[in-house]
């Protein structure tokens, strides 16, 4: 490996300067290819997930478009059926808007 070649003859005085040097071009090129392949791989999966989400969204929208809302007289107003509960302490009450 290229790192072994550089580290064989190092001592403490030359270690810092040698470690700060960038890797040789052929190693840097190999690393760039790996990064490019990873980016392509991640981009592919992002595109696939986005298309799956678009399909799900279209299915939900079609379902909602085909569903008729209930008649207004059939909808029960929950506020009319609320009752106060006696004997609850303040710490057990749920704060409402």
What is the secondary structure of 27-84 as a DSSP string?
Answer: HHHHHHHHHHHHHHHHHHHHHHHHHHHHHHHHHHHHHHHHSPPPPGGG---GGGG--P
Q: Tens place of pLDDT for every residue, the chain, 97 residues? A: 456 666 676 777 777 777 788 877 877 777 776 678 888 899 999 999 999 999 999 999 999 998 888 898 888 888 887 887 776 666 555 655 4
Secondary structure element (H or E) that encloses residue 17, with its range: helix 12-20
- pLDDT value of residue 59: 95
Cβ neighbors of 31 (< 8 A, separation 6 or more) are 23
pTM to 2 decimals?
A: 0.40
Tell me what pLDDT residue 49 has.
96
């Amino acid at each position: 490996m290229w790192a072994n070649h550089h580290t064989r003859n190092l001592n403490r005085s030359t270690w810092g300067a040698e470690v700060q040097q960038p890797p040789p071009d052929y190693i840097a090129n190999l690393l760039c290819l790996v990064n490019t392949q990873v980016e392509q791989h991640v981009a592919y999966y992002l595109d696939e997930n986005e298309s799956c989400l678009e399909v799900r969204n279209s299915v939900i929208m079609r379902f909602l478009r085909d569903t008729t809302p209930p008649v207004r007289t059939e909808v029960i107003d929950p506020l009319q059926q609320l009752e106060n509960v006696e004997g609850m302490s303040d710490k057990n009450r749920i704060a409402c808007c």
